[in-house]
Amino acid sequence: MNRTATSPSDTQSWQHLVIEKVASLRFGVVQIVVHNGKVTQVECTEKTRFDDSADTRRVSR
């Protein structure tokens, strides 16, 4: 199996980005995309959840 090594600076860069994305979310998904053993993309999807109570004006973020 051929593997492409990721340099330490590349690794720190995407790891730092993932940590920032996770810290900024209350509900959501952080997805890491890998091609040929190398992180090529970080995707972040934030979700907004509405409270189930009778007061529909309250929104969880």
pLDDT in tens, the chain (61 residues): 444 555 667 788 999 999 999 999 999 999 999 999 999 999 999 999 888 775 556 666 6
pLDDT of residue 46: 95
pLDDT of residue 49: 87
Domain borders along the chain are: 27-61
Give all strands (DSSP E) within the chain, no chain letters.
28-35, 38-46, 49-50, 59-60
Q: What is the rounded distance in angstroms from the CA atom of residue 50 to the CA atom of residue 34?
A: 33
Q: What is the rounded distance in angstroms from the CA atom of residue 57 to the CA atom of residue 5?
A: 50
pLDDT of residue 9: 74
Q: Beta strand 28-35 with 38-46: parallel, antiparallel or unpaired? A: antiparallel
pLDDT of residue 1: 44
